[in-house]
Structure 1
């Protein structure tokens, strides 16, 4: 029986345990503490951000970011449509309504031209969005310059959802540091993990102080417990921050491993008919958090779902590309500018196992099974192809 190959599992080393042990030895196991402070400082040193707030999840960070820029009930917030639902859920927490923007094919991220058209359309109606949530998908940067230019034209804050893209760059600069606020996730499947956790970064110290205030139940300055507004229990624990500090030390290694995964997949599968990999836009360097490809069923001989099910039979986990948010039942009444590109990527896209702790033989198992699905649909096998499938 083959061992399971999962999509993206945590990859923990020795440094993390040292920091966690220190937290236990000093009895700093509650929320906040010296590891939290150090994690925030080291994160800023790594990314170039001015200030950071460590919180319990990327979703919590995005919720805080939206509140910090003043999103209120009845507002609209523009958001990438090709993304996980956590990019849009916090919009609804505040009683606002998401409006979705389609992707471009260059990066699979928000289409800058569509965003500009959507903002122009809303400006004519006198109903501009309160914010724009830009998602950097699967470890790749969106084309930030034209998106930021469009937002600045109407004085709309840009929030960068870099949950999937820590370690990726745009024109040599870390993602999450271009917009008004940036957010990251350290969920168990991300490039680095704290088990569960997130980070908010911002250049505005006043906003960062308010984020800290809101994330600790909005407790007023008083010797007793006094609260003048609603806050949240969002601060990261000292133990989890210790894990994060250890993970930060190996971020570059984790990125290199995932890019290596992509290169192995790419060189083994690129010549199969109907296979196209998620491109790497020439303005940045992607982490390849997940290796993603599209499958043209007519050329390949099988569709995305048939390949996914064939992999499952061999205990190999793969997943379709994110279902666009404008197709989700919960957002059925929300407007979307465009949508055809995201729908097409969802229909044909597949994410392959991409963990930084995968061995070459794991990747070869995936490759062999994908090739096997294709070859089963062909009436003639060449000798070379038969030999490859048995090695």
Structure 2
């Protein structure tokens, strides 16, 4: 049986191996160490912020970022409904309340006009809005040209969830550098990986110092173990940071491969009625995942039909994120909706996008999709 062609597998090789061996031989196997400090400096330089704090996951980064901007129990936090669940869960960790907002149909990113309406609605009710958390979906930045001034005028901190977008930019400015603090993810399926891991990036030195303190169990600077508040075991290990340093060196090349693959998908689907690539006009995307949107009435087939066809032939795909307002764990949460996220969930499909895919695998994926299209969209 042939091996499954995965959606976005880790892209690692000899360089990563050499960095890990060097870190092992240095003796810095425990969490802190020179590779960790260097990784923070290098990511901050790449993002264009004054500093960074490496942590165990993107979720941990979001949690600490929200704490850093002062979100507390009972606050409201505006979150896109189309996102991975970590964005909303981090709000709930604090005892705050996520209010979900719909997305733009062309990009999947948060609808800025709805955010403006929601801010007015919440403040007219006397709600304290602790933060707005846009998500840079599938590697494309939200419209920060409109969103950042909107948040500034409202006096509400902007926390950028750039978990999917390292290496992307908006009008030349890197993802993660917008707002008061940004959160990155280095999960195994992301554009680059530390196996598991994440990072806060910010120009706010006090916020980062606070995050670093909380991420190390809030230990006080004493010889013995002294703790005056509840902290978290969130620091990234020195070994994983070494892996990340090697990945960061290769990041531009990995993005180039993903962009090239998205272009090939765009060419393949261009003549197909009722099918479009989500956010394909964004030339600054890192193309983490290539997403097609299928309008069944025009195409004659559903996204699920293609997914089934590919699955039967050992090719992994996945629907886009199930909207937060439809998730049982967030049932009953307040939302401002247009139906766009639900349509994208029903009509969207993420295709194999990884930079580690071989040319043979890419050729197989494209040929199999073409075979499906020639057959009239039959999943048989």
Normalised by the size of structure 1, how large is the TM-score?
Answer: 0.94
Assess if the C-alpha contact under 8 Å between 1:119 and 1:128 holds in 2: no
SS in 2 for 1:130: strand
Q: Is the 8 A contact 1:302 1:373 kept in 2?
A: no
C-alpha distance in 1 between matches for 2:233 and 2:122: 35
Which 10-residue stretch deviates more, 99-108 or 198-207? 99-108
C-alpha separation in 2, matches of 1:360 and 1:105: 32
Which residue matches 1:176? 176
- C-alpha contact (below 8 Å) 1:302/1:374 kept by paired residues: no
Q: Kindly report which structure 2 residues correspond to 1:1-391, keeping only aligned pairs within 5 A, or say none.
A: 1-281=1-281, 285-377=284-376
Between 242-251 and 329-338, the greater mean CA deviation after superposition: 329-338
Q: How far has the Cα of 1:359 moved from its partner?
A: 2.3
The Cα shift of 1:233 comes to: 0.5
SS at match of 1:78: strand
Structure 1 residue runs of 5 or longer lacking an equivalent are: 380-391
Q: Secondary structure at the match of 1:165?
A: coil
Partner of 1:387: none
| Offset of residue 326 of structure 1 | 0.9
Say whether the 8 Å CA contact 1:106–1:281 is kept in structure 2. no
Query: If the length of structure 2 is used for normalisation, what is the TM-score?
Result: 0.96
C-alpha separation between the residues in 2 aligned to 1:365 and 1:302? 21
Deviation for aligned residue 1:18 = 1.8
> 1:281, CA displacement in angstroms?
4.9
Further displaced range: 370-379 or 233-242: 370-379
Q: CA deviation at 1:70?
A: 1.6
Distance 1:339 1:60 in 2: 30
Corresponding residue pairs, total: 378
C-alpha displacement of 1:118: 0.5
Displacement, 1:378?
7.6
Assess, with a 3 A threshold, how the Cα gap between structure 1 residues 38 and 101 changes in structure 2: closer, same or farther. Answer: same
- In 2, distance between residues paired with 1:178 and 1:303? 37
Q: Is the 8 A contact 2:76 2:96 kept in 1?
A: yes
Secondary structure at the counterpart of residue 345 of structure 2: helix
Comparing 364-373 and 145-154, the one that deviates more: 364-373
SS of 2:129's equivalent?
A: coil
Is the 2:218–2:231 Cα contact (8 Å) retained in structure 1?
Answer: yes
* Higher deviation after alignment, 6-15 or 120-129: 120-129
SS at 1:176's partner residue?
Answer: coil
Closer, same or farther: CA 189–361 of 1 in aligned 2, 3 Å: same
Contact 1:101/1:111 (CA < 8 Å) preserved in 2? yes
| Equivalent position SS for 1:199 | strand
| Gap runs ≥5 in structure 2 | none
Counterpart position of 1:388: none
Separation in structure 2 between the aligned mates of residue 342 and residue 185 of structure 1, nearest angstrom: 23
Q: Is the 8 A contact 1:186 1:197 kept in 2?
A: yes
- Measure how far apart 1:377 and its partner are: 3.3
Q: Distance in 2 between matches of 1:339 and 1:233?
A: 39
Distance 2:164 2:17 in 1: 24
Give the 3-state SS of the residue equivalent to 1:65 in structure 2.
Answer: helix
**Contact map agreement 2:110 2:134 (CA 8 A) in 1:** yes
* 1:75-111 superposed Cα distances (whole Å, 9 cap, x missing partner): 1110011111011111111111110111112321001
1:30-66 per-position Cα deviation (integer Å, ceiling 9, x unaligned): 1010000000111112111111001000000000011
